[in-house]
Amino acid sequence: MLKKIALFFSLCLLVAVQTQAQKKSKKDYLVTITTSQGVMRLVLFEDTPKHRDNFLKLVKDKYYDGTTFHRIIKDFMIQGGDPNTKNDNPNDDGAGNPGYTIPAEILPHHKHIYGALAAARLSDNMNPSKASSGSQFYLVENKEGVPFLDGNYTVYGQVIDGLSVIEKIADQPKNFMDRPTTDIKMTVTAKKMKKKQITKLYGYHYE
């Protein structure tokens, strides 16, 4: 009898947990990146949880605020998220990180399409496991996508509003190292919203 009671309560607990998970899944975080060139809004993919959770943590800690898009390449991508860009030495831009990497979460259905958010990382010869930088990311600027990067870098989000801002940033004057001659600083926030509202406002459809 006691075993049956214990089993009953276990099932009730499981149902409660599943119900709570379903309730949580009805909402998502809308990420907003504000720059001098305009505002971009993104969603982060739930099936890349390590990257998603890390990005949200850094946003909550205001880690990205004041950093710049330090590398821009027209018809390719714009890159940012390096804490070194907050200092006065432009020569160390691109080398900064929070002191850790993130295990790769490379999934075949997440492609480098226009507006994709992906993690920067060290090259294969230094990083055969393809682990991602703890903070640096890039946004695909090419309208045709950059499929040659598929399977090599973790794609973990998508710009759903403000795609033209990526192009504006990529069009800015830069030096021989692809660094903008004028700093393009960012402020990043995240707000929890109902998925239905995100779809209504920005036309993004969840699978």
Give residue limits of the domains in the chain: 27-202
Could you read off the pLDDT of 44-65 as tens digits, one per residue? 999 999 999 999 999 999 999 9
Which residues are paired to 40 by β-bridges? 33
> Residues in the chain with pLDDT < 70?
1-24
Helix (H) or strand (E) holding 132: strand 132-133
Cα dist. 183→11, 35, 73, 156, 201 in Å?
56, 10, 15, 26, 30
pTM of the model: 0.88
Instruction: Look at the domain 27-202 and name its fold.
Output: Cyclophilin (2.40.100)
pLDDT of 24: 54
